[in-house]
Amino acid sequence: MIAQPSAKYPAFAPIRLKDRTWPDKVIDKAPRWLSSDLRDGNQALIEPMNIEQKLRMFDLLIECGFKEIEVAFPSASDTEFTFVRRLIEENRIPEDVTIQVLTQSREDLIVRTFEALKGCKQAIVHVYNATSPTFRRVVFNKTKEEVIALAEYGVSLLVKEAAKYPETDWTFEYSPEIFSDTEVDFAVEVCEAVMKIANPTPEKPIIFNLPATVEVATPNVYADQIEYFCRNISRRDSVIVSIHTHNDRGCAVAATELALMAGGDRVEGCLFGHGERTGNVDIITVALNMYTQGVDPELNFSQINKVVREVEHCTAIKVHPRHPYAGELVFTAFSGSHQDAIRKGLSDMKNQPDQMWKIPYLPVDPHDLGRSYEAVIRVNSQSGKGGIAYLLEEDHGINMPRRLQIEFSRTVQAEADAKGIEVTSPMIFDLFNREYLTKGNVVIGQPISIVEDENGNTEISAVITTATQQYHAKGHGNGPIAALVNALNETLKIDVDVVSYHEHARSQGSKAEAVAFVEMQVESRTLFGVAIHANTARASIDAVISALNRAIAKGWVEVK
Ligand code: KIV
Ligand code: ZN
């Protein structure tokens, strides 16, 4: 990198618009949307879509609710031309959908464009020419007057050709290319000249598309340019201002949103931001940003996984796992504190389902996009106890007491660390099973006799088998657990005690079971035992044995 970038890169001059009003505006309704996936998006693919992919993309766009779709540059190639013909001849365009096509301002191209559209019920023909100073000087060597004349020429050809096909309801669109880099007064001047020829009315407006063909400044500058244009173009009620941003500085979504606040009526873009270089604006993000502010975007992304799949198929480009709203990881929390907050938010929502959506770290309900909560909490070595506890509870009906959550999270983290991988919900259950529910050396046999007198004193007797011996154990206490612990201490000559006991019911399918958790003190340390059994008393007894076996396995206590 050079030491003085200012010697190479001039800063973009701000627009002189002191009384701008857009910063106080909010987006409170959906704009008109135009998908350019089959034109701007397609032209930027390494391998442009074949007909099968184009038809699939077209159907997807209709399913998502687009009413205006730029389908081709029909004079550019036979594939493009044929595709438009197929849409029309095979009656694939729904009544309420208008297709749009692009052409340069050249007679042969415009004539061919109208031929492609023959028989279409309604269509938008989009003509563009370059207006920005760099293009005028470097690319085309044209004066401002020549640029205006080329725009007028193109639009007068649109008017002339359209007259030959009166069965079609025509709309014209004109783009001063690289509007974002064109003197804004000059952009207005060119559009005024075009307007004189097209002669739009409020009933039959012209679309002025104002492209940030290249994003050259911060989004507020584009918003100023749009507000300036909207305030200075005449016959504003006969003009639809279309916003068309590219993402060179990574701000296309922001630029589009500010431009809507500044007066834009319509948004052109592509699904997942496909398009030249860094792409066009991602329409999905703009639409769902509206949705999460309580505004109906009038587009349907309720099956976002299907949209991802279809777009990946048609473009042969993968959607990034962190792509807003749609990426595989965007509803996923790995960090313990995030998981904890989400877990609390979800359970708060469950308890008060009528409240407005407010879940920490989740700006949108995954269900609204056809995603589940399954992937929300995922566990790796960075995760804390909250996520692990959530998955065990949600997927396996095991609601661990807090101190057990801390204890078990060490086992899971050790596994994640050792293997360097994500630990999935089935893996967590497997670890839990291995750690707490698998039989150890000490086994308590059936039958177990538990006799309780009228004062609540309990006597327990059972056969206890260790690795080397079998004992007939007997113990007394103020409940089965205390009686068993006393029996173990006396029979096995150990010194263990119960610190806490929890249990809850768990239903898995048609089975109802009890899950028992016993926290035991062994020497000066504590650890948990867990058991699941159809019989609650048996679950509590097995949980004590589970804790004892774990203590033996750790070498905290020795049993003959
Ligand atoms: O980005 C752009 O300027 C375009 C034009 C053809 C409108 O896509
Ligand atoms: Zn573009």
Instruction: Give per-residue pLDDT as tens, 271-281.
Output: 999 999 999 99
Q: Residue 335: pLDDT band by 50, 70, 90 thresholds?
A: confident
Asked whether residue 246 is marked as a ligand-binding residue, the answer is: yes
Closest protein CA for atom 4 of ligand 1: 213
Whether 180 is in the pocket of ligand 1, judged by its Cβ within 6 Å, is no
The whole-number average pLDDT for the span 456-476 is 93
Q: What angle do helix axes 385-396 and 402-419 make, rounded to 10 degrees?
A: 100
List, for residues 358-413, the tens digit of each pLDDT value. Answer: 999 999 999 999 998 767 888 888 887 888 998 999 899 999 999 999 999 999 99
Whether 275 is in the pocket of ligand 1, judged by its Cβ within 6 Å, is no
pLDDT for 523: 82
> Is residue 285 a contact partner of residue 324, using CB atoms and an 8 Å limit?
yes
Positive or negative, the Cα torsion across 281, 282, 288, 292? negative
Q: Which amino acid is at 118?
A: K
Å from CA of 99 to ligand 1 middle: 17
List, for residues 64-84, the tens digit of each pLDDT value. Answer: 999 999 999 999 999 999 999
Positive or negative, the Cα torsion across 155, 157, 163, 169? negative
> Structural domain boundaries of the chain?
33-315, 336-437, 443-554
Which of the listed CATH numbers 3.30.160.270, 3.50.50.60, 3.40.50.1860, 3.40.50.300 matches domain 443-554?
3.30.160.270
The minimum-distance atom of ligand 1 relative to the CA of 175 is 7
pLDDT for 420: 87
- CB atoms within 5 A of ion ligand 2 belong to 40
Q: Which amino acid is at 49?
A: M
Closest protein CA for atom 1 of ligand 1: 213
Closest C-alpha to 315, from 39, 34, 47, 76 = 47
Closest protein CA for atom 7 of ligand 1: 175
Which residues have CB under 8 Å from 10's CB, separation 6+?
Answer: none
> Is residue 133 a contact partner of residue 186, using CB atoms and an 8 Å limit?
no
Count other C-beta atoms under 10 Å from residue 3's C-beta. Answer: 5
Query: What are the distances in angstroms from CA 241 to CA 107, 209, 267, 321, 483?
Result: 26, 6, 9, 33, 82
The whole-number average pLDDT for the span 185-213 is 98
Pairing of strands 525-533, 449-452: unpaired
Contacts 24+ apart (CB under 8 A), 335-342: 335/382, 335/383, 335/384, 336/382, 336/383, 336/384, 336/385, 336/386, 336/387, 337/384, 337/386, 339/377, 339/383, 339/384, 339/386, 339/387, 339/390, 340/384, 340/386, 340/387, 342/376, 342/377
Measure CA of the first residue to CA of the last residue in the chain; give whole Å: 73
Query: What are the distances in angstroms from CA 559 to CA 157, 289, 483, 491, 524?
Result: 98, 63, 19, 10, 17
Most informative mutation of 75, 177, 267 for ligand 1 (most atoms within 8 A of CB): 177
The minimum-distance atom of ligand 1 relative to the CA of 177 is 3
Count other C-beta atoms under 10 Å from residue 72's C-beta. Answer: 28
Pull the structure tokens for residue 196.
């004189």
H or E element: which one contains 112? helix 107-116
Q: Which residue has the tokens 């992919």?
A: 53
Most informative mutation of 132, 213, 225, 278 for ligand 1 (most atoms within 8 A of CB): 213
How far is the C-alpha of 28 from the C-alpha of 30, rounded, in Å? 7
- Identify the bridge partners of residue 448 per DSSP, sorted by sequence position: none
DSSP state of 360: T
Q: Which amino acid is at 445?
A: G
Pull the structure tokens for residue 174.
């004109």
Q: Is the pLDDT of residue 560 over 90?
A: no
How far is the C-alpha of 150 from the C-alpha of 110, rounded, in Å? 13
Whether 209 is in the pocket of ligand 1, judged by its Cβ within 6 Å, is yes
CATH assignment, 336-437: 1.10.1220.20
> Is residue 264 a contact partner of residue 243, using CB atoms and an 8 Å limit?
yes
Closest ligand to the CA of 212 = 1
What is the average pLDDT value for the chain, to the nearest integer?
A: 95
How far is the C-alpha of 350 from the C-alpha of 359, rounded, in Å? 11
pLDDT for 400: 97
Structural fold of domain 33-315: TIM Barrel (3.20.20)
Å from CA of 211 to ligand 2 middle: 7
Q: Residue 206: pLDDT band by 50, 70, 90 thresholds?
A: very high
pLDDT for 222: 98
H-type alpha helices, 383-436: 385-396, 402-419, 425-432
Whether 263 is in the pocket of ligand 1, judged by its Cβ within 6 Å, is no
Closest C-alpha to 221, from 175, 282, 173, 179 = 179
Which residues have CB under 8 Å from 300's CB, separation 6+?
Answer: 63, 64, 65
Angle at 495 between CA 494 and CA 498, to 5 degrees: 125
φ and ψ of 396, to 5 deg: -130, 5
Which residues have CB under 8 Å from 19's CB, separation 6+?
Answer: none
How far is the C-alpha of 242 from the C-alpha of 126, rounded, in Å? 12
Å from CA of 297 to ligand 2 middle: 22
Q: Where are the beta strands (DSSP E) in 131-278?
A: 169-177, 206-212, 239-245, 266-269
- % of the chain beyond a pLDDT of 90: 87
Asked whether residue 40 is marked as a ligand-binding residue, the answer is: yes
List, for residues 10-37, the tens digit of each pLDDT value. Answer: 999 989 899 999 999 999 999 999 999 9
List, for residues 278-319, the tens digit of each pLDDT value. Answer: 999 999 999 999 999 999 999 999 999 999 999 999 999 999
Å from CA of 104 to ligand 2 middle: 13
Most informative mutation of 70, 102, 104, 241 for ligand 1 (most atoms within 8 A of CB): 102
Å from CA of 246 to ligand 1 middle: 9
> Is residue 71 a contact partner of residue 87, using CB atoms and an 8 Å limit?
yes
Whether 175 is in the pocket of ligand 1, judged by its Cβ within 6 Å, is yes
Positive or negative, the Cα torsion across 82, 84, 89, 90? positive
Q: Is the pLDDT of residue 430 over 80?
A: yes
Q: Residue 110: pLDDT band by 50, 70, 90 thresholds?
A: very high
The whole-number average pLDDT for the span 531-556 is 95
Asked whether residue 354 is marked as a ligand-binding residue, the answer is: no
Å from CA of 411 to ligand 2 middle: 53
Closest protein CA for atom 3 of ligand 1: 213
For residue 174, how far is the Cα from the chain centroid? 34
The whole-number average pLDDT for the span 445-450 is 86
Closest C-alpha to 476, from 459, 488, 494 = 459
